Amino acid sequence: MTRAGLAAARSSTAQLAEIVPRVADEQWDLPSACAGWRVIDVMAHLAALATEAVDPPPPDPSSPSNRERYHDLRVDERRSWSHAEVLDEWRRSTPRQLDLLEAAQEPPGGTEPVDVPGLGTYPRHLLANTMAFNVFCHLRNDMLAPDGPLPFTLPEPTDSLVAPAVEFMLAGLPQMQGPELTSTVGRPLVLDLTGPGATTVTVLPAAGPDARLTVAPGADGSTRITSTALDFIAWATTREPWRDYCRITGDTSAATPFLDRLNII
């Protein structure tokens, strides 16, 4: 089970809770580093995720199938809310979300597959890593300086915060873009992530015409993409250009199409 993911989700949430009271009212309306969203919209997104986790809405066939557009829709629904209303929802739903994620670590339910529309299928226990990724990424990349507008600082990220976020990203990598990304991988690509959250995996080509690429632990290829794990969170979500953070050894032409197309949500 991914109790490390649960611990990371709780830690990043606690850090966000320390920042929230320090934000002046006018700062909530500053543009975040997440295109089209103000700082308060980032909070609305996290609040919406928490609320849907604890009180799932009925299926709506009219909802966008694209996960990013779906998130935009949920944020747009809250744009008329006051700052206090958005923050109240976040404070109300987030502890319940964390409690549910803790319960999801226990067998046998923790191994049950859960379909996340637009993102893929994951064992229930890994949803804790999803929250760890979301809170960590939005807080540090979209809200806080230097990329975001809020002039507050946090302690340097540790392995215990970064590794669970990266674990979710690697689990989602083969699923989120389907054939669009699979078609870019013609030979094994070693992804070597260093620093806090360090791991080495190999992105393997699809085994057949109807299969998708896979991610396997360890290095099994001559083309290597090296980056820090912390930078991976930024460039693999297209917040930053990968060329500024990655070093490729081996066949650059084999790695470039994959890196150009990768966009983990």
Is 228 part of a structural domain of the chain? yes
Residue 215 and residue 89: Cα distance in Å, rounded?
37
Number of domains in the chain: 2
Contact between 195 and 230 under an 8 Å Cβ cutoff? The reply is yes
Angle of CA points 118, 120, 121, to nearest 5°: 140
Q: What is the pLDDT of residue 2?
A: 65
Is 162 part of a structural domain of the chain? no
Q: What is the pLDDT of residue 1?
A: 44
Of 105, 91, 107, 79, nearest to 47 (Cα)? Answer: 91
Q: Return the SS3 of 144.
A: strand
Q: What is the pLDDT of residue 108?
A: 84
Same domain, 37 and 105: yes
Q: What is the pLDDT of residue 62?
A: 77
Is 166 part of a structural domain of the chain? no
Is 163 part of a structural domain of the chain? no
Residue 4 and residue 264: Cα distance in Å, rounded?
21
Residue 31 and residue 47: Cα distance in Å, rounded?
18
What single-letter DSSP state applies at residue 157? Answer: P
Is 164 part of a structural domain of the chain? no
Q: What is the CATH number of the domain that holds 132?
A: 1.20.120.450
Domain boundaries, position 104: 3-155
Contact between 14 and 141 under an 8 Å Cβ cutoff? The reply is no
Same domain, 216 and 150: no
Give the start-end residues of each E strand in 106-152: 113-116, 120-123
Phi-psi region of 197 (alpha: psi -120 to 50; beta: other; left: phi over 0): left
pTM (whole model) above 0.75: yes
With both helix axes pointing from N to C terminus, report the angle between 3-19 and 127-137 in degrees, rounded to the nearest 10: 30
Residue 235 and residue 244: Cα distance in Å, rounded?
9
Full pLDDT tens readout for the chain, 265 residues: 468 999 999 999 999 999 999 999 999 999 999 999 999 999 999 999 999 999 988 877 778 778 888 899 999 999 999 999 999 999 999 999 999 999 999 888 889 999 988 889 999 999 999 999 999 999 999 999 999 999 999 999 999 999 999 999 999 999 999 999 999 999 999 999 999 999 999 999 999 888 999 999 999 999 999 999 999 999 999 999 999 999 999 999 999 999 999 999 8
